[in-house]
Amino acid sequence: MGADKEKRVAAARAVGLIEAGMTIGLGTGSTAAHAIRLIGARVREGMALRGVPTSEQSAALARAEGIPLVDLNEVERVHLAIDGADEVDGGKRCIKGGGGALLREKIVACAADRLVVIVDSGKTVECLGAFPLPVEAIPFAREQVRRRIEALGASAALRTDSAGPFITDEGNHILDCRFGRIDDVSGLAAQLSAIPGIVEHGLFIGMADDVIVGRGGTACFME
Ligand code: 5RP
């Protein structure tokens, strides 16, 4: 069974949690895109809801699907956020940011009453760290930040695209940091948060209320 099918069944299970009238955080990436398309179908069936997108990419897809969008600054509550992840461990801790949207994703996740992370089975790990940890840094501080991260024992690569450095929706750069196996996740998160110039890092700790894993043709909640 392909990863894309697993992403879709996980997304469908999460979209099944949506109730009329909710404000939904719309994640970013290929798994979240499945959810956005399924939410679009709900809207077209007549369900009243609105979305808070976590990226320009997801906003464009949501608009194309006919989902009414609202600015995070204009809502009092986000009832449910649905987002993908790059890695998830047994404690529902995640690495996110492979799609470069970790800053807005973390803000929306934090604003949400409930964060549901949706992944294919290949994303579940015993220990975080095989996936390079995305760290968003302001361009002015980037090389200082890179040195400080490397002093923590990682190699940090500037993410690029065809135009040069990858630029996030907030105008920042991303360093993809290879720490290897991350044994002390909270400790690393604290160390990164203390470095001036880092806007946010992709460790999501204690944020996911639920993780739904697509495995084969079915989707299950992680215990
Ligand atoms: C974007 C993210 C994505 O949720 C993460 O990269 C997973 O992407 P995909 O669903 O395409 O595998 O964090 O910043």
Q: What is the pLDDT of residue 35?
A: 98
> In a mutational test of the pocket of ligand 1, which residue from 30, 34, 199 has the highest number of ligand atoms less than 8 Å from its CB?
30
pTM across the whole model: 0.97
Give the pairing of strands 115-120 and 160-161.
Answer: unpaired
Q: What is the pLDDT of residue 113?
A: 98
Active site residue 223: no
Q: Tell me how far the alpha carbon of residue 106 lies from the centroid of ligand 1, in angstroms.
A: 12
Q: CA gyration radius for the chain? A: 17
Written as one string, the DSSP assignment of 124-184 is B-SSS-SSPEEEEE-GGGHHHHHHHHHHTT-EEEE-EETTEE---TTS-EEEEEE--S-S-
Q: Tell me how far the alpha carbon of residue 196 lies from the centroid of ligand 1, in angstroms.
A: 26
- Taking CA atoms only, the protein residue closest to ligand 1 atom 5 is 85
pLDDT in tens, 150-202: 999 999 999 999 999 999 999 999 999 999 999 999 999 999 999 999 999 99
Written as one string, the DSSP assignment of 51-118 is EEESSHHHHHHHHHTT--B--GGG-S-B-EEEE--SEE-TTS-EE--TTS-HHHHHHHHHHBS-EEEE
Catalytic residue, candidates 105, 143, 150, 223:
105
What would the two tokens of residue 167 be? Answer: 């630029």
pLDDT in tens, 21-80: 999 999 999 999 999 999 999 999 999 999 999 999 999 999 999 999 999 999 999 999
Q: Tell me how far the alpha carbon of residue 118 lies from the centroid of ligand 1, in angstroms.
A: 10
What is the number of the ligand 1 atom nearest to the C-alpha of 118? 10
- Taking CA atoms only, the protein residue closest to ligand 1 atom 6 is 98
Does the beta carbon of 191 lie inside 6 Å of ligand 1? no
- Taking CA atoms only, the protein residue closest to ligand 1 atom 7 is 85
